Amino acid sequence: MTLPGLRVIEVAARIVPSRRRDEWRREWEGETAYAWQRMNRRGPPPVLSRARLRLRVLTCIIDALLEKKEEVRMSGFPNDLRYAVRGLMRSPGFALVAILTLALGIGANTAVFTLVDGVLIRPLPFEEPGQLLSIRHSGREGRDALPMSDGLYLLYQREVSSLESIALYRSTEMNMVAGDAPERVQGQVVTPSFFDVLRAQPVMGRSFLPEESQPGAEEVTILSDGLWKRAFGSDPAILGKTVDLNGRLTRIVGVMPPAFGYPNRDPQFWVPYTVDPAQAYLASFRAAGIARMAPGASVEGVLGELQSLIRRLDELFPESGDPAFLASVGLRARVQPLNEVLVGDVSTILWVLLGTVGFVLLIACANVANLLLVRAETRQRELALRLAMGAGRMEIIRFFMSESVVLAACGGALGAMSSSWAIGVSRLFIPVGFPRMAEVGVDLRVLAFTGLISLACAVFFGLFPLVRYGTRELASTLKDGGGWGATGSRARHRLRNALVVVQVAMALVLLVGAGLMFRSFQALRALDPGYDVDGVVTARVSVPSAEIQDPAETAEFWRQLRLRLEGQTGVVSVGMAQRAPLNGAIAFTTVSLADQPRGPDDQDIFAHWMSVNPGYLETLRIGIREGRALAAGDGAAGTRAVVVSESFARHWWPDSSPIGRQVGGDPENGEDWWEIVGVAADVHHLSLEDAPEEMIYYPPTIGPTESPGSVRTMDVLIRTAGSPIQFVPVLRRELQALNPRIPISNPRTMQEVLDLAMAPTSFTMTMLGAASGIALLLGLVGIYGVISYVVSQRTREIGVRMAMGATSPAVRRMVVQQGLALVVAGVILGLAGAGALSSVMASLLFGVSAMDPVTYGGVSLALIAVSTMASWIPALRAAGVDPSRALRED
């Protein structure tokens, strides 16, 4: 009878690391044999004893498994890593290229992930941010954005049970006098509940009391940490002191912590928003709304409650005319999680960018995988040696993987380091107003992400040689006596070729993306905004009522300022408007037309409007299509003259001239009509992407609502003969001379304003351009590498061909064709991919379709052209093969 359990020991021994295997097996055999011998001393042992011995021998599997585990834990992998490092140091060129390629891919991904994480993923820096909502409204099926009105605020605050708290806020700028010079400071007007909604507490002092938002309350303010430090020298006894805001002494009651702010950290101070229940109009949408949901409430629940209130407005406010007006525009509530509103359109840009750099990383990995495949071939002998020494499957996997891990780790570390630099660089391109940029930074989460993608890379490209050199196959090949046959070589090429095809395809997808963005940018550039920004500088000037109370005096101030500026040498003309183009929101209202009265069921007529001074249209060179521009004296002297934009005129008088026709704000309430004296060219006032607004330009002193107050804030525009920015000091000086307590804010050239409006598009274009440039470069390296390799492998064959009479051009053609075949396959695959993916980008595009044939065609041709060049170099080498030498080789 043979030894029981011998077979088990034999099987288990295979698990044991080869180094220890023999001794291990002999030990178990020795014990088992001894025990068996003892058992048989007095005749055949009982069944039970035999079974017990068998069971005992069976436990050798546990022993073997633990041995294996120990091996892996202790000596195995670190050893392999050390070995891999030594191996890589012996081929520094390969290591450097691979690591740099990976660092590029990983660094780009880390940088973009940092943005995505900071802007999109990380919750807002407030307590229970998931409960925060934005409350807005829209009218006319979403065509009008109507934020919040005081009346609706009071109503919601009182009636909506699914809201824990609701607040209004509005940004403001005030003239602050803390030292000698007045300063224009950004702040926010907020209801006291603003701090409750965000659950934020001042670090010093208190937040606003409910009575401080009542009319007639004492003027109080809360400072930001930044303003407290900058303007008040971190005065620890600041509470209770006063500061001059817009000419009013305002008591400081609190200081907020450093990182506080919504929607960004720009506001430097907060003052109470006065809600006067007696004048809380439902339809005056002048503030933004945020709210905190009650525990257990849902966005849909809140929306449902608001909608049912809106439907009951007429019964809730029977006295007011507002419900009828709101019903006529089809007022609807818009409730959205706060983070979605805050991030808005940017999320598309960021996801597209992340996808883009993800592609770059894949291409980088494909390149490294290709390099590793070549390297694996040169390491055959080493591999054979290991196999001969009894290396198992696991050891071979580790043999390949250890090098990948070292490469990925180095690439990852370098990438992480360079990513913070990349973020710094990309900050230069990131448009102003990009949300949450203050929160963006490299932290543990980002580093964890980097670690994860590095690991994924290592596994990804480490697997390629394994797929290729399955250990069994390799072992059999070696037994065959080495020498790769023709078929083996073809299989090997197939994998590398596939990698190159995929690389080219991915590069094409990115190039198409970048191409589409470039075309959008071109279209924006080519777009005529309707005005000429060249040589124009702009700055905002505000006259606080505490400084000049009387409307007539205010009008006189503007007139004086204009005259003083016009008197300067180099000034061509001076314009003033409530808002310069692309410089912020402008008023939007219903208007009446004398010759087109509206019935009760008719849709109201809406138009944007603003007050401009007579020089405005001239200064921006906005063309007059018909009639005349506003002139001095219009408005003020009882001449009720307005200019309308071309689109407004065309909309309402498609077949006749609007000159002499009458428009009005609210004639039923006793407002007089205004006479149209001119038609101005259309202007892209709010955004370049949207259609030009239908505009009415009023003279400065009085708007369409006959408000007795004059316009207090104007964007001053100066057209100059020289360099426009040099006129900012001139403006400052003249203003000082008129009234030293009135500062200017936001001085910029109009060219800067225009560039800023294009910034999101140019940012996306720059980023996609950079990414696809890298992708293209990596793809070309891949093509070059593969073709070079093929040429070196086929040297002998080429030699034979040339000996048989093939000419150099024929050989060149053959090699280039081979490269071209890969590229064309990649391009076809890439076109399909780009077609499928580019719809994601549709919202980022302007003036170009996501399927733009010019972009697709142009990019494909360009890619084919440069790829052909990449295979040209190895082709030249092939054509230079000396047949006699090639044939003698190997």
Least distance in Å: CB of 394 to other proteins? 19
Amino acid at 397: I
Whether 759 and 431 have beta carbons less than 8 Å apart is answered as: yes
Nearer to other proteins, 41 or 158 (CB): 41
DSSP 289: E
Q: What one-character-per-residue DSSP string does 191-207 give?
A: -THHHHHTT---SEE--
Nearer to other proteins, 67 or 403 (CB): 67
Nearer to other proteins, 62 or 721 (CB): 62
Nearer to other proteins, 9 or 644 (CB): 9
Burial (Cβ within 10 Å: 0-12, 13-18, ≥19) of residue 609: buried
> Which residue do the tokens 């138009």 mark?
607
Nearer to other proteins, 41 or 86 (CB): 41
Question: 426-441 as b/e, with b when 16 or more CB fall inside 10 Å?
Answer: beeebbeebbbbeebe
DSSP 634: B
- H/E stretch holding 776 reads helix 750-793
Cα(135)–Cα(145) distance, rounded to whole angstroms?
A: 12
Give the phi and the psi of residue 708 in degrees, each rounded to 5.
-70, -25
Q: Look at residues 466, 482, 478, 481 and name the one whose alpha carbon lies nearest to residue 388.
A: 478
Residue 870 is encoded by which pair of tokens?
């990449």
Least distance in Å: CB of 67 to other proteins? 7
Least distance in Å: CB of 74 to other proteins? 8
Cα(675)–Cα(664) distance, rounded to whole angstroms?
A: 9
Nearer to other proteins, 53 or 686 (CB): 53
Least distance in Å: CB of 30 to other proteins? 4
Nearer to other proteins, 9 or 293 (CB): 9
Least distance in Å: CB of 400 to other proteins? 28
> Which residue do the tokens 């409530």 mark?
578
Q: How far from 797 is each of 255, 421, 794, 822, CA to CA, in Å?
A: 81, 49, 5, 20
Nearer to other proteins, 66 or 438 (CB): 66
Amino acid at 784: Y
Whether 572 and 720 have beta carbons less than 8 Å apart is answered as: yes
Which are the contacts of 656, defined by CB distance < 8 A and separation ≥ 6? Answer: none
Nearer to other proteins, 9 or 88 (CB): 9
Cα(480)–Cα(478) distance, rounded to whole angstroms?
A: 5
Q: Look at residues 83, 69, 86, 74 and name the one whose alpha carbon lies nearest to residue 394.
A: 69
Cα(745)–Cα(710) distance, rounded to whole angstroms?
A: 20
- Which residues of the chain form contacts with other proteins (CB under 8 A)? 23, 26-27, 29-31, 33-35, 37, 55-56, 59-60, 62-63, 66-67, 70
Cα(890)–Cα(474) distance, rounded to whole angstroms?
A: 21
Least distance in Å: CB of 48 to other proteins? 15
Nearer to other proteins, 13 or 561 (CB): 13
Nearer to other proteins, 33 or 832 (CB): 33
Least distance in Å: CB of 80 to other proteins? 20
Nearer to other proteins, 67 or 646 (CB): 67
269-272 and 182-190 as β-strands: parallel, antiparallel, unpaired?
parallel
Least distance in Å: CB of 72 to other proteins? 14
Nearer to other proteins, 48 or 428 (CB): 48
Nearer to other proteins, 35 or 517 (CB): 35
The CA radius of gyration of the chain, in Å to the nearest whole number, is 38
Least distance in Å: CB of 63 to other proteins? 4
Least distance in Å: CB of 389 to other proteins? 23
Nearer to other proteins, 4 or 544 (CB): 4
Nearer to other proteins, 26 or 479 (CB): 26
Least distance in Å: CB of 41 to other proteins? 11
Q: What residues does 189 pair with on adjacent strands? A: 170, 271
Cα(129)–Cα(200) distance, rounded to whole angstroms?
A: 12
What does the angle CA 59 – CA 60 – CA 65 come to, to the nearest 5 degrees?
105
Cα(105)–Cα(556) distance, rounded to whole angstroms?
A: 62
End-to-end CA distance of the chain: 57
Nearer to other proteins, 63 or 183 (CB): 63
Question: Which three-class secondary structure string do you get for 334-360?
Answer: EEEEHHHHHHCCHHHHHHHHHHHHHHH
Least distance in Å: CB of 10 to other proteins? 14
- H/E stretch holding 719 reads strand 713-720
132-139 and 332-337 as β-strands: parallel, antiparallel, unpaired?
antiparallel
Cα 298 to its chain centre, rounded Å, is: 28
Which are the contacts of 341, defined by CB distance < 8 A and separation ≥ 6? Answer: 134, 136
Least distance in Å: CB of 90 to other proteins? 33
Q: Find the length of the chain.
A: 890
Least distance in Å: CB of 58 to other proteins? 8
Alpha helices in 143-192 (DSSP H): 150-159
Nearer to other proteins, 53 or 440 (CB): 53
Whether 888 and 800 have beta carbons less than 8 Å apart is answered as: no
Least distance in Å: CB of 21 to other proteins? 14
Measured from the Cβ of residue 808, the count of other Cβ atoms closer than 10 Å reads 14
Least distance in Å: CB of 232 to other proteins? 58
